[in-house]
Amino acid sequence: MSTLVIEPIPVLSDNYVYLAHDPETGATAAVDPPVAEPVLAALARKGWRLSHILATHHHGDHIAGNVELKQATGCSVVGARKDAARIPGIDIEVAEGDSFLLGAAPAVVMETPGHTSGHIVYWFPDTPALFCGDTLFSLGCGRLFEGTPDDMWSSLVKLRGLPAETLVCCAHEYTATNGRFARLVERDNPALKARIDQATRLLAAGRPSVPSTMGVERAANPFLRADVPAVARAVGMDPGSDPAIVFAELRRRRNAF
């Protein structure tokens, strides 16, 4: 049983790199670093030594710091076997259901195609925490660059089944815009209102609005709620419509928002 200490580092315009530190062994991962310098500075501030990079997918704003960080620290890069050719510096190739240890903290890998075909997420059941890259955002989800709405909906259904207290560590600060869109979908959802109010307070104080929790996202994020009658109705569909089709319409409207 090893609980990670998690530290979000804001980088670029709206990305987060998460440092995940196992106090028992000192092992420390950086999730999705697009740049090296702010990560090295945060490590120095904390007195932590980088042992791993965890890559969720191949986009530049998630992997462009891999090689420099690896050279600076000698860390190992973990990424999807399916996407090994697109993950710079990859050392450890993983796939659906694989588990590995970050120090003493067990991690389980889940494949979540949709945003990209090779997207994976890392679930740490002891903390519990989920590093979900660009699959799930607070009150939103990633754009479909390499997958169908069916792919993404199945990926999101898989994630929403994780325990309510799971920290949802997503890779972008999109909560405010996502919240404005979500309000158009479910005007009367009290969980949504509460999450927007909380995020607004955090952002106004200059703090990250994330991590969220899976319990909050399940109750408030319209993209996890395509099978809720009110959400189908909000996009002009019959309650009981195929949730993947409701999801596709939500995603289409969000792209145009």
**Residues noted as catalytic:** 57, 59, 61-62, 115, 134, 172
Q: Which amino acid is at 96?
A: E
Q: Which is nearer to Fe ion, 22 or 134 (CB)?
A: 134
Residue 44: CB partners within 8 Å, gap ≥ 6? none
Note the helical H segments in 74-209: 149-160, 175-185, 190-204
Tokens 């990305």 belong to residue: 15
* 125 phi and psi angles, rounded to 5 deg: -65, -25
Within positions 117 to 146, which residues make up the interface with Fe ion, using CB under 5 A?
Answer: 134
Q: Which is nearer to Zn ion, 33 or 243 (CB)?
A: 33
Q: Coil, strand, or helix at residue 104?
A: coil
Q: How far is the CB of 156 from Fe ion (least distance, A)?
A: 17
Q: Coil, strand, or helix at residue 224?
A: helix
Within positions 12 to 71, which residues make up the interface with Zn ion, using CB under 5 A?
Answer: 59
Q: Does 134 bind Zn ion (CB under 5 A)?
A: yes
Can you tell me the distance from the alpha carbon of 147 to that of 131, in angstroms, rounded to the nearest whole number? 20
Q: Which is nearer to Zn ion, 48 or 131 (CB)?
A: 131
Q: How far is the CB of 59 from Fe ion (least distance, A)?
A: 5
Within positions 60 to 79, which residues make up the interface with Fe ion, using CB under 5 A?
Answer: 61
Q: How far is the CB of 134 from Zn ion (least distance, A)?
A: 4
Under the rule (CB under 5 A), what is the footprint of Zn ion? Answer: 59, 134
